[in-house]
Amino acid sequence: MSKKVQKLVFDEEEVTNHKNRCVKSVETKSDQGYFNTYSHFAIHHEMLTDKVRTESYRDALLMNSHIFNDCIMLDVGCGTGILSMFAAKSGCKQVISVDQSDIIYHAMDIVRENNLTKIVKLKKGRLEDIDLDVDKVDAIVSEWMGYFLLFEGMLDSVIYARDHYLKPEGKLLPNKCTISLVGSGDTKRYIDLVDYWSNVYGFKMSCMKAEVVREPSIEFCNAQDLVTSVAEIQSFDLYKVTTDCVNFSAPFSLKVKRSGSLTAIIGYFDVFFDDLDNPVHFSTGPHATPTHWKQTVFSLSEPISITEGEEESHIQQKLFENLIKLNPFFYSGEIVSGTLVCRRHVKDIRGLIVTIRIKDFSQVYYLD
């Protein structure tokens, strides 16, 4: 068996072995560190001042108030309670707001300050461990997305809420998310971050390159540095996904838009509230208005030389597509293709391990 095939089999085994792992399977005590990070005010200020994020939720609720009038809504991971208060203003007769973080004590004060205590009922605890005092809810709202969409594992709690509390015809906000990739040719960033270790005050520290590359960077990327087309690699229908959705293998194909060097693969996600009468959508990509999620940058250990090709004919395009099907690591002067494998972190239930393969390049990245 070749090393490439062995690696593919190993990845599939890794994915299979961790299918049943989710937040519910972890004791609350051992999960407390995650919630403690949300007890600090700075993170809530960062999220609230993200207008793209906060106003998208506001618009989805208030522009569709006729749908939520007189309903019971569940807010999973309510934080300061901003989404719960939007829900109350949309006409909900009751909003059940759950959070395990100590920030909920301040949310209680905020709800009281805004005279919404008769509508918004706050409960401290992890959703999987508490009693909501209702059998079913009409809608679930949650801002659960983490870096590269799936980091933090909060989607597990939304899935639990959906399966245990949502009415058959109930609404999920948001209802769909996608993950996309795009290639970056930011050579200055590569020199400053990766190649820097080749010569540090006259000393070689090349061994540090591996440590730098293995950890994806969360940063704003300049759209001018993008050198390929965008490829959507995964779509998540929140009405159907299971907690195993974090484990996937996705081929991708990026068309070269500009000759030069491919130095990193950039990951980002889009969020959709599109099963409403007045749909709402926002993107965290480098082409869109910046959000607090920024983008997830997977740096390559060595740049890949790429060449912009001429516009292909229909026949050429079909040929490329067939070659990609035969060899997922196909690379030509016009197309860079590979595979991204995502799986739940072996040791950290809320972390991710991402493997990217392009031609002879293969790198494992850890979001933990």
Average pLDDT of 113-118?
98
Mean pLDDT of the chain: 87
CA atoms within 13 A on the CB side of 313: 2
Residues annotated as catalytic (active site), given as ranges: 143, 152
Average pLDDT of 25-46?
64
Provide the pLDDT confidence category of residue 347 given band limits of 50, 70 and 90: confident
Fold category of 24-173 in CATH: Rossmann fold (3.40.50)
Provide the pLDDT confidence category of residue 3 given band limits of 50, 70 and 90: very low
Domain ranges, ordered by start, for the chain: 24-173, 176-367
The CA distances from residue 95 to 88, 166, 267, 327, in Å, are 7, 13, 34, 51
| Residue whose C-alpha is closest to residue 337's, from 265, 255, 263, 234 | 255
Average pLDDT of 199-211?
93
For the record, the structure tokens of 81 come out as 């309670």
Which amino acid is present at 353? Answer: I
Query: What pLDDT was estimated at residue 326?
Result: 44
In terms of CATH, what superfamily is 176-367?
A: Hnrnp arginine n-methyltransferase1 (2.70.160.11)
180: Cα separation from own chain's centroid: 10
Per-residue model confidence as pLDDT tens digits over 246-281: 999 999 999 999 999 999 999 999 999 999 999 999
Taking 60 as the threshold, does the pLDDT of residue 84 lie above it? Answer: yes
Taking 60 as the threshold, does the pLDDT of residue 9 lie above it? Answer: no
- Spatial distance between the Cα atoms of 177 and 234, rounded to a whole number of angstroms: 9
Average pLDDT of 129-154?
94
- Spatial distance between the Cα atoms of 269 and 149, rounded to a whole number of angstroms: 6
Per-residue model confidence as pLDDT tens digits over 284-341: 999 999 999 999 999 999 999 998 875 444 544 554 455 444 444 444 558 999 999 9
Query: What pLDDT was estimated at residue 44?
Result: 79
Query: What pLDDT was estimated at residue 43?
Result: 76
Q: Please, what sign has the CA dihedral across residues 225, 227, 228, 229? A: positive
- Spatial distance between the Cα atoms of 329 and 323, rounded to a whole number of angstroms: 9
- Spatial distance between the Cα atoms of 204 and 18, rounded to a whole number of angstroms: 39
- Spatial distance between the Cα atoms of 162 and 149, rounded to a whole number of angstroms: 18
Per-residue model confidence as pLDDT tens digits over 216-234: 999 999 999 999 999 999 9
Query: What pLDDT was estimated at residue 193?
Result: 93
The CA distances from residue 238 to 140, 142, 160, 245, 272, in Å, are 11, 11, 11, 10, 10
Query: What pLDDT was estimated at residue 348?
Result: 81
Partners of 235 in beta bridges? 178
Q: Which residue has 């910046």 as its token pair?
A: 290
